[in-house]
Structure 1
Amino acid sequence: MSGRKETVLDLAKFVDKGVQVKLTGARLVTETLKGYDQLLNLVLDEAVEFLRDPEDPLKTTDQTRLLGLIVCRGTAVMLVSPIDGTDEISNPFVQPDGA
């Protein structure tokens, strides 16, 4: 067995494709994954950040700001998911009003 460490995620299949990245501090960034390393440092091109709700800083709004080319430190990355092939669904555990 070699001394080389392997990452848990195989991000090679997401290079040059759209990804959604959740970062610590409830930040949400989307766009094209251009590169990564074994520490999960990510390079995103044409990155767009979804701004947080001033009333509840843990929620994001539909307001965005363009960041351009960015590097996300691996220690701040919480989640990486593809944009294509995913849809947001309603929470099945939330009870409807009046129930």
Structure 2
Amino acid sequence: MSDRGRGSFRGGRGGPISRGRGHGPSPSTGSADKPKREAILDLSKYVNERIRVKFTGGREVTGVLKGYDQLLNLVLDDVEEQVELPEPRVRSLGLVVLRGPTIILLSPVDGSEEIANPFLSQE
């Protein structure tokens, strides 16, 4: 009884670390077999360009694209938010990280122009 807690390992916390049992890829298999997942959109041509982003809920921002990932999370610099209510104004936000799942529209500012909606009834 005097050697309780010493001697052979019985499991629990603080025991030896066992690799390759459900804790990530094992060194023998590696990730060389799997092809790398590509992003849905190729945003590389818009890096360091000004883009406009609309979100679910109606918010809209413009800024310079600095980075992105395959989930469409974006890093924008010099961001300005277009606030419509209670009065139209522009709010400066600086450097921001935008979550991809909340984005509904992404477009370049330069090289695009607003056109009239042809489906609206003429009044």
TM-score under structure 2 length normalisation: 0.68
Q: Which residue of 1 aligns with 2:54?
A: 22
Q: Which residue of 1 aligns with 2:85?
A: 53
SS at match of 2:44: helix
Residue by residue over 1:28-55, the C-alpha shift from the partner in whole angstroms, topping out at 9 and shown as x without a partner, is 010100000111110000100011334x
SS at match of 2:41: coil
Amino acid corresponding to residue 100 of structure 2 in structure 1: G
Output the CA distance in 1 between the equivalents of 2:88 and 2:85.
9
Distance 1:39 1:6, change over 3 A: same
Deviation of the 1:77 alpha carbon: 1.4
Deviation of the 1:26 alpha carbon: 0.7
Q: Which residue of 2 aligns with 1:41?
A: 73
The ranges of structure 1 where at least 4 consecutive aligned residues each deviate by more than 4 angstroms after the TM superposition are none
Considering only aligned residues, what root-mean-square deviation do their CA atoms show, in Å?
1.6
Of 79, 83, 94, which aligns to 2:105?
A: 79
Query: Structure 1: any 5+ residue segments left out of the alignment?
Result: 55-60
- Higher mean C-alpha displacement, 40-49 vs 76-85: 76-85
Is the contact between residue 27 and residue 52 of structure 1 (CA under 8 Å) also seen in structure 2?
A: no
Q: Which residue of 2 aligns with 1:58?
A: none
Is the contact between residue 30 and residue 48 of structure 1 (CA under 8 Å) also seen in structure 2?
A: yes
SS at match of 1:81: strand
Amino acid corresponding to residue 82 of structure 1 in structure 2: P
SS at match of 1:20: strand
Of 95, 117, 120, which aligns to 1:69?
A: 95
Higher strand share: 1
Amino acid corresponding to residue 46 of structure 1 in structure 2: D
Is the contact between residue 40 and residue 70 of structure 2 (CA under 8 Å) also seen in structure 1?
A: no
Output the CA distance in 1 between the equivalents of 2:101 and 2:73.
8
